[in-house]
Structure 1
């Protein structure tokens, strides 16, 4: 794993009116040194982290040498959401998780970018929770981001998302085995009946169905690498997603944003549904020209953004290859 770097933040004002005297912000960079190439900020999802490429990189199929997001041509920057537990001591956890909102995290990321003296970002990209933070980052600093690429996410938490966050929160606060049990529920939300039925086909070993083993193993794996307070925080942030909170209505906000917006949804997503994303796109088109919509076709549901790499690469190729060509011209 590439070495983690840390930025110390002091006296950070939370959206709810409280202040955190100290917050460590951990991050990793890949590719070209800061200040020498266009910057791509990659926001991780609920159980992800800043290790986006290289050894154990969770987006190795998209990010790396000669990949779509090419480390030969871009500076890749990935922050860890404070409290996710992925840091030098796997500590610095947040117990008062309900104090934080997704907007707080977006502001923290901008604090990090300011510290690194990055004033212009070629693209902010993220899936699920990371994509929601990308939306909020764009609203906060619309003139600093050229391309917003939210994947399998939305600019708001729908009632459906809020309901599932509540179920997860109840499990995390009441179960005897909270992380594992919450993961059982989450995995069924992130996949589809067709995906699971085709994969397991009612097979069993020693009277235990393979689907049961698969779910139990996912619960064990997450429990071994994720802290309870971190899971509570990441889950809670999902329901605080709303770029219009305390602001104008959605279209009025978007009118003022010059950023190119490339929405990517998954046709079978049961969490951030494609219907919601299509509606967002149609509304955006009424006030903004440089907005685009693409859809990943998959039986795998929400998690397709971590599975269908070929389709995602094809969607992203025009954005990143155009910039690479510009890099060659300016070299």
Structure 2
């Protein structure tokens, strides 16, 4: 449960930059390593390795007698280097544009190898975490039994790249960069319909601000208090590098080669990784791979539905994880 560290030495990034040393922090939950099927959980942009337990951000999905059952599985969650979780100043990265999601995927595989883990029952991640899951699959197409990207895609779309640029400009030019970038980002993570249902043009008690304004400002302040500027710059930049080194032909080649069951999970109202992009991915995959399924969460709430609509997500994932339990019991 406690935060642990793996020291990665002599690592060369995709752009040729050499890192003599990189710390890779992680947490392990559930069954001891080597005794049970392993599920790797990749966190999203402002997330971390605390996927279950106290302050666990995916407690509705992971835990005792939950869909991803800690009484049955070994759960590993790495922190993307540079996310600053746990207060390690050494884990902040200044040259953030040197890194790609493929670099992170390589680091995660190195970390797993260090732990003696060579195959994964599943790798699951939402948003940026799902993009890293895809990259891990591209690197080792026959080492993952179930590849489960949620509210994500195998490549960054033009829309996503455009929004990464806007975020980067805010982060490098605003007087309150983390706070202000978060305000803009929340407009991508939710939808107009979600805001209307929640606020409906109401004002707060003193009538000075609309409730939507208060809510956005609160989210800006909350992230500003817990997330370093360097971390936000890096995580935002990584989004646009998803699938950067993989063209459509190579993606089809991966689909033909992989032994993984690919479970695509989109959100019908997602403004970040749109359902249209996921449907297109599914159409490409199913032509060459019979082990692919497509599921769509129905929600007013947009991209953040993968952190909100737990009943739907559990229902989608239940068969994959309970079938494995039945097999081994």
**Residue in 1 aligned with 2:86?**
87
**Residue in 2 aligned with 1:226?**
227
- Residue 142 of structure 1 deviates from its aligned partner by 1.3
* TM-score normalized with structure 2 length: 0.97
> Do the aligned partners of residues 90 and 225 (structure 1) sit closer, same or farther apart at CA in structure 2, a change above 3 Å counting?
farther
Output the CA distance in 2 between the equivalents of 1:308 and 1:247.
Answer: 31
SS state at 1:249 partner: helix
**Residue in 2 aligned with 1:101?**
100
**Residue in 2 aligned with 1:6?**
5
Check conservation: 1:148, 1:259, Cα contact below 8 A.
Answer: yes
Residues 1:301 and 2:302 are matched in the alignment: yes
> Do the aligned partners of residues 225 and 90 (structure 1) sit closer, same or farther apart at CA in structure 2, a change above 3 Å counting?
farther
**Residue in 2 aligned with 1:291?**
292
Output the CA distance in 1 between the equivalents of 2:280 and 2:118.
Answer: 32
Residues 1:240 and 2:255 are matched in the alignment: no
**Residue in 2 aligned with 1:321?**
322
Q: Pairwise mapping of residues 143-222 of structure 1 onto structure 2 (< 5 A)? A: 143-205=142-204, 206=206, 207-222=208-223
Aligned length: 327
Output the CA distance in 2 between the equivalents of 1:247 and 1:100.
Answer: 22
Output the CA distance in 1 between the equivalents of 2:311 and 2:125.
Answer: 17
> Do the aligned partners of residues 41 and 127 (structure 1) sit closer, same or farther apart at CA in structure 2, a change above 3 Å counting?
same
**Residue in 2 aligned with 1:66?**
65
- Residue 246 of structure 1 deviates from its aligned partner by 7.2
Check conservation: 2:252, 2:285, Cα contact below 8 A.
Answer: yes
Output the CA distance in 2 between the equivalents of 1:88 and 1:72.
Answer: 30
* TM-score normalized with structure 1 length: 0.97
Check conservation: 2:156, 2:244, Cα contact below 8 A.
Answer: no
Greater shift, 106-115 or 86-95, is seen at 86-95
**Residue in 2 aligned with 1:116?**
115
Output the CA distance in 2 between the equivalents of 1:18 and 1:244.
Answer: 16
Output the CA distance in 2 between the equivalents of 1:188 and 1:5.
Answer: 35
Check conservation: 2:123, 2:147, Cα contact below 8 A.
Answer: yes
Q: Deviations over 1:90-129 (max 9, x none)?
A: 5420000000001000000000000001011000000000
**Residue in 2 aligned with 1:261?**
262
- Residue 253 of structure 1 deviates from its aligned partner by 2.3
SS state at 1:103 partner: helix
Check conservation: 1:131, 1:149, Cα contact below 8 A.
Answer: yes
SS state at 1:254 partner: helix
**Residue in 2 aligned with 1:138?**
137
Q: Give ranges in structure 2 of 5+ residues lacking alignment.
A: none
Output the CA distance in 1 between the equivalents of 2:118 and 2:281.
Answer: 28
Output the CA distance in 2 between the equivalents of 1:319 and 1:33.
Answer: 21
Greater shift, 275-284 or 90-99, is seen at 90-99
Q: Give ranges in structure 1 of 5+ residues lacking alignment.
A: none
- Residue 249 of structure 1 deviates from its aligned partner by 3.0
SS state at 2:66 partner: coil
Check conservation: 1:32, 1:72, Cα contact below 8 A.
Answer: yes
Greater shift, 262-271 or 138-147, is seen at 138-147
Output the CA distance in 2 between the equivalents of 1:244 and 1:105.
Answer: 13
